[in-house]
A and B are shown apart, each in its own frame.
Chain A
Amino acid sequence: KQEVTQIPAALSVPEGENLVLNCSFTDSAIYNLQWFRQDPGKGLTSLLLIQSSQREQTSGRLNASLDKSSGRSTLYIAASQPGDSATYLCAVYNTDKLIFGTGTRLQVFP
Chain B
Amino acid sequence: EPEVTQTPSHQVTQMGQEVILRCVPISNHLYFYWYRQILGQKVEFLVSFYNNEISEKSEIFDDQFSVERPDGSNFTLKIRSTKLEDSAMYFCASSAGTSSYNEQFFGPGTRLTVL
Contact = CB atoms under 8 A, between A and B. Distances in A.
Interface of A: 31-32, 34, 41-44, 46, 49, 51, 89, 91, 93, 95-103
Contacts, number: 64
Interface of B: 31, 33, 35, 41-45, 48, 50, 55-56, 58, 89, 91, 93, 98-101, 103-109, 111
Contact of A34 (B50, B91, B103): B103
Residue with the highest number of chain B CB atoms closer than 10 Å, among A34, A95, A98? A98
A31 B101 contact: yes
Given A31-B101, A44-B91, A102-B42, A96 B31 contact: yes
A98 B35 contact: yes
Contact of A95 (B43, B56, B93, B107): B56
B40 to A, nearest CB: 10
Contacts of A51: 101
A96 B99 contact: yes
Nearest to B57: A97
A51 B101 CA distance: 8
